Amino acid sequence: MSAALRRAVVPTALTLTVLLSGVLGCEEVQDAVNPDPDGSGAAFRVRIENVSSAQPFTGSGVFNTPVGAAGPGPLAAGEAYEFGFTAGPGSRVSFATMFVQSNDLFYAPAEDGIALYDASGAPTVGDVTDLVMLWDAGVEVNEEPGVGANQAPRQAGPNTGDAEGGQVQLVADGFTYPAVADAIAVTVSKTSDADFSIRVANVSDGSVLLAPGVWVVHADGAPLFAAGSTDRGDGLEALAEDGDPSGLGAALADDTGIAVIIAPGVWVLHTADGPLFTDGAPDRGLGLEALAEDGDPSALAAALGGAMALPHGGAFTTPVGAAGPAPAGPGGAYEFVVAAVPGARLSLATMYVQSNDLFYGTDERGIALFDQDGVALSGDVTSDIALWDAGSEVNEAPGFGPNQAPRQAGPDTGADEGGAVRMVADAYDYGAVAESIRVSITAE
- Residues contacting 25, CB < 8 A, separation 6+: none
Check if the beta carbon of residue 271 is closer than 8 Å to that of residue 24: yes
Domain ranges across the chain: 3-54+259-443, 57-254
pTM over cut 0.85 = no
Check if the beta carbon of residue 298 is closer than 8 Å to that of residue 266: no
Q: Give the separation between CA 180 and CA 220, rounded to whole angstroms.
A: 25
Query: Would you say residue 168 has pLDDT above 80?
Result: yes
- Residue 413's pLDDT is what? 84
Contacts of 163-167 with CB under 8 Å at 24 or more apart are 163/139, 164/104, 164/138, 164/139, 164/140, 165/138, 165/139, 165/230, 166/136, 166/138, 166/139, 166/230, 167/138, 167/227, 167/228, 167/229, 167/230
Region for residue 369 given its phi and psi (left: phi exceeds 0; alpha: psi -120 to 50; beta: otherwise): alpha
Query: What are the pLDDT digits (tens) for 79-130?
Result: 999 999 999 889 999 999 999 999 999 999 999 999 999 999 899 999 999 9
Q: Give the separation between CA 362 and CA 347, rounded to whole angstroms.
A: 6
Query: What are the pLDDT digits (tens) for 54-83?
Result: 899 999 999 999 999 999 999 999 999 999
Q: Give the separation between CA 353 and CA 291, rounded to whole angstroms.
A: 10
Q: Say if domain 3-54+259-443 classifies as CATH 2.160.10.10.
A: no
Strand partners, 127: 187
Q: Give the separation between CA 94 and CA 245, rounded to whole angstroms.
A: 14
Q: Give the separation between CA 270 and CA 173, rounded to whole angstroms.
A: 75
